[in-house]
Amino acid sequence: MGVGVSWATGSSAFVGCAGSLASGSRAGLRDTRGVSQQDVEVVRNLFAGAATADKRALLEMLPQLIEQACDPEIEWVEDPQRADSRTYRGHAGVRESFERWLEGFDEYSFEIEDVVDCGDNVLVISNEQARGAASGAAIRSRNYIGMTLRDGKLLRYREFYDEPAAREAAGG
């Protein structure tokens, strides 16, 4: 998830990015032009609340968090580089993505480096840390999450592990 996840997880490599992270299938999604500073703050607050939770607490708060933060028509796109990459829709889909991702870890956390206004979207740069459930191996990865909001709720989530792919999607 970037969840990587992160709900998918410094300095901004994307300051001044332009374009749309909404490339690809948008069937059924309404146009959402122009990110406001309010949307950037919504995203910052969303991550601030979830970043302090451990894996068990995050799983417990998921239903309420998803209901409050996500538009019912949400499209949740996992990074295509993931072997198990999928696209989910709706609140149930977001929850399934989180649960699938988190089941592989004994411990999981993330932190936000930056939240950047990219015109029609918000870009989140995050770092996630985890310990594999089966292997016990420590994992750390940097993720890039393109988010589109509608009426203060997350309408589209696109996860990237690859910075050039995120830049290309952002048009910057």
pLDDT of residue 115: 85
Q: Pull the structure tokens for residue 14.
A: 């994307």
Q: From residue 37, how far is each of 26, 118, 157, 169 by CA, in Å?
A: 24, 11, 18, 21
pLDDT of residue 35: 54
Query: How many other β-carbons are positioned within 10 Å of the β-carbon of residue 62?
Result: 19
pLDDT band at 51 (very low <50, low <70, confident <90, very high): low
Pairing between strand 153-160 and 70-77?
A: parallel
pLDDT of residue 18: 34
Comparing 75-79, 84-88, 119-123, the range with the smallest average pLDDT is 119-123
Mean predicted confidence (pLDDT) in 6-12 = 31
Find the Cα–Cα–Cα–Cα dihedral 101, 155, 92, 108, rounded to 10°.
20
Comparing 13-27, 33-47, 70-84, the range with the smallest average pLDDT is 13-27
Query: Which tops the pLDDT comparison, 122 or 150?
Result: 150
Q: Pull the structure tokens for residue 23.
A: 């490339």
Find the Cα–Cα–Cα–Cα dihedral 2, 48, 107, 81, rounded to 10°.
10
Q: Pull the structure tokens for residue 73.
A: 């028509």
Angle at 86 between CA 80 and CA 90, to 5 degrees: 130
Nearest to 110 by CA among 36, 31, 56, 55: 55
pLDDT, tens only, 25-42: 333 333 344 556 787 888
pTM for this predicted structure: 0.74
Instruction: Tell me which DSSP letter residue 117 carries.
Output: E
Q: 3-class SS at 97?
A: helix
Query: Which tops the pLDDT comparison, 62 or 46?
Result: 62
pLDDT of residue 102 exceeding 80, the answer is yes
pLDDT of residue 27: 33
pLDDT of residue 7 exceeding 80, the answer is no
pLDDT of residue 84: 86
pLDDT band at 131 (very low <50, low <70, confident <90, very high): very high
Going along the chain from its start, the domains and CATH numbers come out as 37-170 (3.10.450.50)
Whose structure tokens read 């996500």?
70
